[in-house]
Each structure stands twice: as structure tokens, then as C-alpha cells.
Amino acid sequence: MQVALAEKDRQEQAAARGRPVRGALTHQPVRDGDCALCHLPHASDSAHLMANPSVIDACGACHDWSKHSNHPMGPKATDSRNRNLTIDCLSCHRSHGTGYRYLMPFPTSTDLCVQCHKRFTR
């Protein structure tokens, strides 16, 4: 436990400097080297050689996300940061890990939410 906490601290500090490192906060299938669970290593019709063109379906293969989030997702929810994107799992998570908990690109969920919900910025 002590080791895990020290490791987490190390990774969060690295993440704060913009340099995520591999370790306990890396997404488990990535840490295990199971790249082919998500990517087709040789060729695929999808960006990033993804095996599944839908991010929501790809993540949903292992996660029952409907339990955790009823946040709008899919074609009707446009990402206010980039009008070409719609909201999916990668609007709030990075699939390999970031050094922060929950594969989040920011240290707290508040930091994450206000990226798009700017009027709640404090």
C-alpha cells in the first residue's frame, strides 16, 4: 500500500509536469501489454489503428459505463472545445493513462468539467 501511494505520488508529479509515466496509474490492459485488445497492429480503417470504430463500443466491451455516467455522449453532443468532435469516453479519459486517477487528463474532475462548462470555472 505504502509503495502504491509513493508510486501514485511520483506519477501525479510527473503528470503535473506534462510527462505521464508508466506505472500503477497506467490503464491495466496497456500495462499488461495487451495492445491488440484495442488496436489492430497492422491495418485498420479507423484512426489510431483502432479495432473498433466506435470509442464508446470499444470501451464498453470491458466497462459497464452506463452505471457511472449519464453525461450526454454520441452524435448529438458536440464538444465545445472542438466542434468537429462529439462527446465520448475520450472527451474525459485518455485510454493509456495520464498519471492521474481514472485516466483523467486533469488532476481533479472539477478541472476536467470546467474545460467545457466554463461558466462553472472558479
Binding site for ligand HEC (CB under 6 A): 25, 27-30, 33-35, 37-39, 48, 55-56, 58-63, 65, 68-69, 71-73, 77-81, 87-96, 101-103, 109, 112-113, 115-117
Smallest distance, ligand HEC to C-beta of residue 86, A: 8
Using the 8-state DSSP alphabet, how is residue 5 labeled?
H
Helix (H) or strand (E) holding 78: strand 74-78
Smallest distance, ligand HEC to C-beta of residue 11, A: 11
Query: Considering beta carbons, is residue 15 or 95 the nearer one to ligand HEC?
Result: 95
φ, ψ for residue 42, nearest 5 deg: -100, -45
Smallest distance, ligand HEC to C-beta of residue 18, A: 14
Contact of 105 with 98, CB cutoff 8 Å: yes
Query: Considering beta carbons, is residue 17 or 118 the nearer one to ligand HEC?
Result: 118
Query: Considering beta carbons, is residue 17 or 55 the nearer one to ligand HEC?
Result: 55
Task: Name the region of 63 (left: φ>0; alpha: ψ -120 to 50; beta: rest).
Answer: beta
Smallest distance, ligand HEC to C-beta of residue 1, A: 16
Q: Is 16 helix (H, G, I), strand (E, B) or coil?
A: helix
Query: Considering beta carbons, is residue 17 or 76 the nearer one to ligand HEC?
Result: 76
C-alpha neighbours within 13 Å on the C-beta side of residue 44 = 15
